[in-house]
Structure 1
Amino acid sequence: MAPAPDYIDDLSRYITASPSSYHAAAEAARILDAAGFTRLDEAQEWTSTVGSRYIVRDGAIIAWVQPAAAGPTTPFRILGAHTDSPGFKLKPRPTIGSHGWLQAGVEVYGGPLLNSWLDRELELAGRLVTRDGREHLVRTGPFLRIPQLAIHLDRDANAGLTLDRQRHTAPVFGVGDRSQADLVGHLAGLAGLRGEDVAGYDVLTADTAAPTRFGIDGDLFAAGRMDNLTSVFAGLTALVATAASVANTADDAAPTPGGAPGAAAHISVLAAFDHEELGSESRSGASGPLLDDVLTRIGATLGASAAHRLQAYASSWCLSADAGHSVHPNYSEKHDGANQPIAGGGPLLKINANQRYATDAHGAALWAATCEAAGVAYQEFVSNNTVPCGSTIGPLTATRLGIRTVDVGVPLLSMHSARELAHTGDLVALASAVTAFFAGATAATSR
């Protein structure tokens, strides 16, 4: 692991480079390329996946480290995360406006904390697809703003702000005659294209404020899209370290002292899906076939039969890493009375009796062993019974593949805000724990 300040600086650069899920996947690919990973094409035959490999599907990326000693029943250790974040997505015919203002027509994406997006300089970012089927990433930098109504015109605003999703969320980006403006043409020009060449687009908003450390000791960290780029980057960092470790190990297949599996006892996988904020039901989401497709193809290069694959899955683990809630000092009644995780107390073990999180007792034992091996503390999170929790990709992965799954993540304040808040120590600790997970940390009770 890099020292804490270096890790936070690297995380800041990753978040800044990732204003959309498509950028997040592309930046992850750049990092993996620099670390010696090889990109595979899903449309081509995979004759061997030994070494460090990855694929990109739309806004998702799956990467893995496969030791040479891997065989048909070698299990997987998977870090599952997601690349998308709540916000707004550009509609068709997006150039709108009235009363001299130019505005962008947007649709709410996921479940953003709407008021947090007001009065911020936003950018548009995503992909343009031209008529020849080629994909072009684009971002505007500071470009739009959703202006709030002045207090003088709404004296009751501080008593309760209600935003109509259709009428009150259209951002402004200029003044003039909308019949003379062409928002898609502007985006095309930024990508070196003509507007008429663009046949489709997936473009979303992102806050443009830079990630920042602050507070009395500089231990607080604010940024957009920490849900869930913090987990994606922790997985990237851990996987790169794992690749280096496997490459430098003379006998990959040797077990570590005490019988715990060594680096070649499993294949380490980062699965960063798209569309989690929408329910994950897409070709690049956790409810889709993406992970199973990749694991099946890896197994095929190892000569795995369907029975072999089930054997491998039976010994596999998935860490579903997503953000959780730190106790809020101004709203502590919203949290469980006995389980109130604090910022700086370590990453979370997320538990829910109704399987909104996939953690069970074996998963708790694995997470305890993993954090012990990493030398980090952890804390449990469970919801107040009157405040139902959301869900993650964890139950989806467990249901689709039958792989034992445990839900973890960093505690945040202001989740789904345009700008979220974390403690730097928790961010570093999560990356350390994921590295230990890929290294083979285990518990006697996990079998």
Structure 2
Amino acid sequence: MLGPMSNPSRFDRGHTDDLVSFLKASPTPYHAVANAAERLEKAGFQQVAETDAWEGGSGGRYVLRGGAIIAWYVPEGATAVTPFRIVGAHTDSPNLRVKPIPDTGSVGWRQIAVEIYGGALLNTWLDRDLGLAGRLTLRDGSTHLVNVDRPLLRVPQLAIHLDRQANDGLKLDRQRHMTPVWGLGEPHEGDLMAFLADEAGLRAADIAGWDLMVHSVEPPARLGRDRELLAAPRLDNLLSVHAATAALVAVAERDRENGGGLSYIPVLAAFDHEENGSQSDTGAEGPLLGRVLERSVLARGGGPEDRARAYAGSVCMSSDTGHAVHPNYPERHEPGHHPLPNGGPILKVNVNQRYATDGTGRAIFAAACERAEVPWQSFVSNNAMPCGTTIGPITAARHGITTVDIGVAILSMHSARELCGADDPHLLANTLVAFLEG
């Protein structure tokens, strides 16, 4: 945890340096939640198993499930009807993921078969040094994280001499053109698992399953004349996961230092699978968040009526990246709304409920920014362009909780390497502290 600034702000640019470390250590959702959990444990949070009975006393707790983490802090004096303040985010990013039969190849090249995950910007994965990371599941049911964070794979682009029209409109076949190479020779079944078992100190025969994905090994970097920009992978949406984790720790620490006083239960809810619809047991459309919140109420002696009252007073701030105005394509943006990096977090609005923000949510967000002394911006899509969506509408509809969609403005969304303002991560974290404190 980074040290406090003068109130009400708590984080400065050192927070962005810490974000860089978090991004480098989190090439997959599984690594991201493990790193978030480690930070929470250092702040006194305790992991609770979903199969155990839960206690209702004060303190910080968290639940891990695959690539998702739910963490919450129960302040002294909280009752069964104490409402929640939730920051929602997601841990996954578009990328290339290893297929069930990974060892493949063609015309003397050894390759790894991959499947496209989410809405990846495919051309950004070409001619880039790639590592491989993820989760290995053993025959005894245990899981092990693995991270080969060095140049291992590459998706080679066809030379312009063999595709003279490449600069007039590159077209990539997702099946034929996106298979990375990792050596020469004939492919052999079991090659990849043998390699990863050696990397992880395991026996290849013990590996029964895997969830593996490639990542760019180029580290995050500040850029620009004044180094006011940050280029990095997985800003969408580990930037929000990192900020929410830091904010939850800060709120819990301040409440303990002040001897209590929080009137809400602050919650971090970082889900997996947002990039492909959130329909999984670790996605926002699954039952995980609802069950955790309900069990928290029950652990404090509540029942269905108390749960309904707690939910009615709760608010969720869905934090995800949004589009900064692009200097080369300004016509693609709404003319009256041009969010810029380092202009503070953005309020995301769509009247067709692609975002969950309404007037009440706007007021809650504006109050948090005012309290944190943070500037903010508005984002709305050009009427002629389709609008993306987030976990916000899903959370609002599934749990009946007031939800507002916010985030940080970035360029190159869904690229293997995205771009944000170097100040925006700590401006977001300060806003989330003010929101969680109510």
Question: TM-score category by the smaller chain?
Answer: over 0.9
Residues 1:207 and 2:216 aligned together: yes
State the 1:4 CA deviation: 2.9
Moved over 6 A (4+): none
- What is the TM-score with the length of structure 1 in the denominator? 0.94
Deviations 1:354-382 (A, max 9, x none): 00000000000111111000101101000
State the 1:243 CA deviation: 1.1
Alignment of 1:18-417 (within 5 A): 18-141=26-149, 142-179=151-188, 182-250=191-259, 252-253=260-261, 263=262, 265-417=263-415
Equivalent-residue separation in structure 1 for 2:283 and 2:30 (angstroms): 13
* Identical counterparts, % of pairs: 54
Equivalent-residue separation in structure 2 for 1:339 and 1:82 (angstroms): 25
Q: Provide the secondary structure at the position in 2 that maps to 1:30.
A: helix
Give the total of aligned pairs: 429
State the 1:398 CA deviation: 0.3
Deviations 1:163-211 (A, max 9, x none): 0000000001111221276012211221111212111111111111111
State the 1:48 CA deviation: 2.9
Equivalent-residue separation in structure 1 for 2:11 and 2:235 (angstroms): 20
Q: Provide the secondary structure at the position in 1 that maps to 2:15.
A: helix
Contact 2:60/2:71 (8 A) holds in 1? yes
Contact 1:76/1:266 (8 A) holds in 2? yes
Equivalent-residue separation in structure 2 for 1:405 and 1:241 (angstroms): 22
Contact 1:120/1:145 (8 A) holds in 2? yes
Deviations 1:214-272 (A, max 9, x none): 1111110000000000000010110110110111122x23xxxxxxxxx2x11000000
Between 353-362 and 168-177, report the one with greater CA deviation: 168-177
Contact 2:281/2:287 (8 A) holds in 1? yes
Contact 2:127/2:154 (8 A) holds in 1? yes
Deviations 1:327-377 (A, max 9, x none): 000000000011111112111000001000000000001111110001011
Between 104-113 and 40-49, report the one with greater CA deviation: 40-49
State the 1:47 CA deviation: 2.1
Q: Over aligned residue pairs, what C-alpha RMSD do you find?
A: 1.1
Equivalent-residue separation in structure 1 for 2:309 and 2:379 (angstroms): 32
Q: Which letter does structure 2 place at the counterpart of 1:278? A: N
Q: Provide the secondary structure at the position in 2 that maps to 1:55.
A: strand
Residues 1:13 and 2:21 aligned together: yes
Match of 1:428 among 418, 426, 429: 426
Equivalent-residue separation in structure 2 for 1:296 and 1:190 (angstroms): 41
Q: Which letter does structure 2 place at the counterpart of 1:193? A: L
Equivalent-residue separation in structure 1 for 2:190 and 2:399 (angstroms): 49
Deviations 1:104-136 (A, max 9, x none): 000000010000111111111110000100000
Unaligned runs of 5+ in 1: 254-262, 441-447
Equivalent-residue separation in structure 2 for 1:230 and 1:393 (angstroms): 15
